[in-house]
Structure 1
Amino acid sequence: MTLLWGTYPAAGLGTPAGLGEGLWIQDDAGLAGAVQVAELPAPSYVLAHPELPLVYVASELPDSALTVLDVSRPPAPRIVASVPTGGADACHLLLAPDARTLYVSHYSSGDVAVVRLSGDGLPADAAPAQLLGHAGSGPNADRQQGPHAHSSLIAPGGAHLLVCDLGTDELRRYRIGSDGLLEPDGIAATLPPGAGPRHAVVRGGLIYVTCELDHLVRTLRWDPTSATAEVIAEAPSTLAPPRSAELQDSHLALADGPHGEVLLVSVRGADVVSVFDIAPEGELTYRAAIDAGEWPRFFAVLGDRLIVGAERGHEVRAFAMTDVFALRPESGIGDVIDLPHAAAEVVSPACVAAV
């Protein structure tokens, strides 16, 4: 397995971009041979095409751009296309199930861009086919002064795109057309004021949402008739205390283990990845927290490894999923487990894709 990392500037998110940061590549999930292979301004999100040797990269800039790379000729990827995305600070990419449309979330402007793709996986147009904005705010004056589209996902049933809006505490809803274009369709869910929904995953008729601002993981039940979701449970994203800074929830993902599924949630500040067991009906039970390095912005379960990017620690870590699945429930409230792992230096890692 080859890993491709997108990174922030060396001084971190919010500092001037285009000062040498870019893409790093590693030979395998054991984290051997991490080297920078390309310079791009703030390539904070990377996404691999499921079939073609292409990787899509979002540059998190005031005038954001989408770059497409050909990774068929190692070691260095080759840029084959680049288009503006129309919004400010692109932070998440989602590829439609048919791989003919790419949805781009913009944090600062709150827009969602729709980029059509041709059969060869390259952008079909010189600009997004749609740029869909939003309005609103939340009670957190520092973080919720306006809409902040942080990520998107396909709703249960596949008919709608949902957007986690950190700024308005909403899951925005868009009906997906047969051509991949979006029709604004209202709000699927409104979370408690100040929650700050950031990322979400779907499990059957349930949606798990990690909320950056109030540090809770919420379980929502999807109603296919009304295309709305209702909060049915919530749990702290970690019991570990702050270590490097105040808590900020970051990312979450499902993993299928030998004794059932688990939900993994990264929490910056506490600098952990939390592990939740999932009951058959979907109830979450907190099990333990793993030391994930300083400021674990993004992680991915790739094969038999948990790969974590510790942005402020300037390192990436790889844990064996067998060790993660074998974790015992914490023996003391707030324990942080130092699980065996491989590590390598990568400057300000932001996102990883397997290519």
Structure 2
Amino acid sequence: MRIAPFLLSFFACCAAIPAQSQMLRLYVGTYTSDKSEGIYLFNFDPATGTATPGGVTSGVSNPSYLTLSKDGKNLYAVNENGGKEPGSISAFSVNPSDGKLTFLNKLPSGGDYPCYITASDNRKWVIAANYGGGSLVAYPLLIDGSLADKQQLIQHTGKGTNPDRQEGPHVHSTTITPDGRYVLVCDLGLDKIFTYKFNSEADQTALSAANPPFAATAPGDGPRHIAFHPNGRWFFEMGEMSGKVSSWQYKKGKMTMLQSVDAHTPQYSGDRGSADIHVSPDGKFVYASNRYASNNIAIISIDPKTGMMTNAGFQDLKVKKPRNFVIDPSGKYLLVAGQESGGIEVFERNAETGQLTSKGIIDVPNPVCLKFF
């Protein structure tokens, strides 16, 4: 079969046109007590690692942690307040054309200083952690993504070994397992990771205690966040107080600790305040952020057969107090939120070695949570 010359020219022209990268939306949660106005939106170009402002949703008090529905139609934020201004959860719809947010409603979180929130894949539930209240709360969702006015509140009790930091329960994260059947809850104050059965199809009571109900971490560990490996069989836990990363084997709601490694350099002797943890999309590396004098990202390699960890280096930061960071879906970039300094530092990630190269800083005040969609 012969192809007409003009078609050959057309195909050649098409081949010469570079494929345009799909722009990502980057939502930034902040503390609003200083210069921040609320939730910031940036359009992030994964081809260049650069970001352009897309607007700000103002009037949102301390949206310190965000989550998006799986389809991207809704965004949920905790309002990390306590005392005279109770903690709460805010729901928003997302404009599909430009990513801008429209406020839907806000309801109490049931405890002081909510600091984490996650949404079920089926768009029916959100589950949040109340750090100050030592509790977790689950809200069913309405068709438009707004919060239904009927919460399930679970209160933890007890205390840990550190009288200053662990005088009572401090729930720090609520993570839905990859199979969607359980919720793992890190309680920094009790040195425990609780397991709750999760019925995402329930109308009102979605959570119930599993058997066993929890796994204990090392005393004084202060479990804060966890991140699952892509294989779903392992997860990695960040101990805020110990500054250690622990790997766990996971199966059907049951957890077994495999290993712990220090996320700080051997010579570090300052205060420990580790924060966030993420696994690269290829499953080869786990990254952990360290605040205070350490102020870096720990890079840890993962054995693909056993899940065992080996320290692979540390990346110093230009921004200060890295409360939160994120890896873009392709795994090419890692972005770090500098709570104290302001700004989001963009790193390009070497997929083979896991090492990071700083590419620049996105200007935004008091960033503490980063989410891509």
TM range (shorter): 0.7 to 0.9
Q: Does structure 2 conserve the Cα–Cα contact (< 8 Å) formed by 1:240 and 1:289?
A: no
Residue segments in structure 2 that go unaligned for 5+ positions in a row:
1-23
Partner of 1:213: 241
CA-CA distance at 1:347 after TM superposition: 1.3
Partner of 1:289: 314
Counterpart residue type for residue 265 of structure 2: L
CA distance in structure 2 between the partners assigned to 1:39 and 1:251 by the alignment: 26
Counterpart residue type for residue 369 of structure 2: C
Aligned residues: 331
After superposition, the Cα gap between the structure-2 partners of 1:70 and 1:142, relative to the gap in structure 1 and judged at 3 Å, is: same
- Work out whether 1:46 is the aligned partner of 2:66: yes
Q: Could you report, residue by residue, the CA deviation over 1:193-228 in whole angstroms, capped at 9, with x for unpaired residues?
A: 11100001223322211100011111122354xx43
CA-CA distance at 1:250 after TM superposition: 0.5
Matching residue within 230, 255, 264 for 2:287: 264
Q: Could you report, residue by residue, the CA deviation over 1:278-329 in whole angstroms, capped at 9, with x for unpaired residues?
A: 11210111111112321111111123321110111111111123x364456x
CA-CA distance at 1:2 after TM superposition: 2.3
- Work out whether 1:8 is the aligned partner of 2:34: no
- Work out whether 1:231 is the aligned partner of 2:288: no
Matching residue within 336, 344, 356 for 1:308: 336
Ranked by relative contact order (alpha carbons within 8 Å, sequence separation 6 or more), the top structure is 1
CA distance in structure 2 between the partners assigned to 1:311 and 1:351 by the alignment: 9
Partner of 1:199: 225
Q: Does structure 2 conserve the Cα–Cα contact (< 8 Å) formed by 1:253 and 1:300?
A: yes
Residue segments in structure 1 that go unaligned for 5+ positions in a row:
12-18, 329-336
After superposition, the Cα gap between the structure-2 partners of 1:156 and 1:25, relative to the gap in structure 1 and judged at 3 Å, is: closer
Counterpart residue type for residue 207 of structure 1: F
Partner of 1:255: 280
Q: Does structure 1 conserve the Cα–Cα contact (< 8 Å) formed by 2:92 and 2:146?
A: no
Partner of 2:368: 350
Partner of 1:27: 43
Partner of 1:333: none
Within a 5 Å distance, the mapping from 1:314-329 to structure 2 comes to 314-321=342-349, 323=350, 325-327=352-354
Q: Could you report, residue by residue, the CA deviation over 1:93-149 in whole angstroms, capped at 9, with x for unpaired residues?
A: 1112322111011100011101101233222x2242x00001011111111111011
Highest Rg: 1 or 2?
Answer: 2
Moved segments of 4+, more than 6 Å: none
Structure 1 vs Structure 2: percent identity of aligned residues?
23
Q: Could you report, residue by residue, the CA deviation over 1:131-168 in whole angstroms, capped at 9, with x for unpaired residues?
A: 00010111111111110110022346543211000000
Counterpart residue type for residue 311 of structure 2: Y
- Work out whether 1:119 is the aligned partner of 2:119: no
Aligned to 1:42, the other structure's residue is in SS state coil
After superposition, the Cα gap between the structure-2 partners of 1:240 and 1:31, relative to the gap in structure 1 and judged at 3 Å, is: farther
Aligned to 2:183, the other structure's residue is in SS state strand
* Segment of structure 1 superposing worse, 206-215 or 28-37: 28-37
Q: TM-score, normalized by length of structure 1?
A: 0.85
Aligned to 2:112, the other structure's residue is in SS state coil
CA distance in structure 2 between the partners assigned to 1:219 and 1:75 by the alignment: 36
What's the Cα RMSD here?
Answer: 2.4
Counterpart residue type for residue 135 of structure 2: D
After superposition, the Cα gap between the structure-2 partners of 1:23 and 1:342, relative to the gap in structure 1 and judged at 3 Å, is: same
After superposition, the Cα gap between the structure-2 partners of 1:291 and 1:100, relative to the gap in structure 1 and judged at 3 Å, is: same
Aligned to 2:284, the other structure's residue is in SS state strand
Aligned to 1:253, the other structure's residue is in SS state strand
CA distance in structure 1 between the partners assigned to 2:176 and 2:25 by the alignment: 27
Q: Does structure 2 conserve the Cα–Cα contact (< 8 Å) formed by 1:84 and 1:127?
A: no
CA-CA distance at 1:276 after TM superposition: 1.1
Partner of 2:91: 68
After superposition, the Cα gap between the structure-2 partners of 1:179 and 1:79, relative to the gap in structure 1 and judged at 3 Å, is: same
CA distance in structure 2 between the partners assigned to 1:64 and 1:237 by the alignment: 31
After superposition, the Cα gap between the structure-2 partners of 1:228 and 1:70, relative to the gap in structure 1 and judged at 3 Å, is: closer
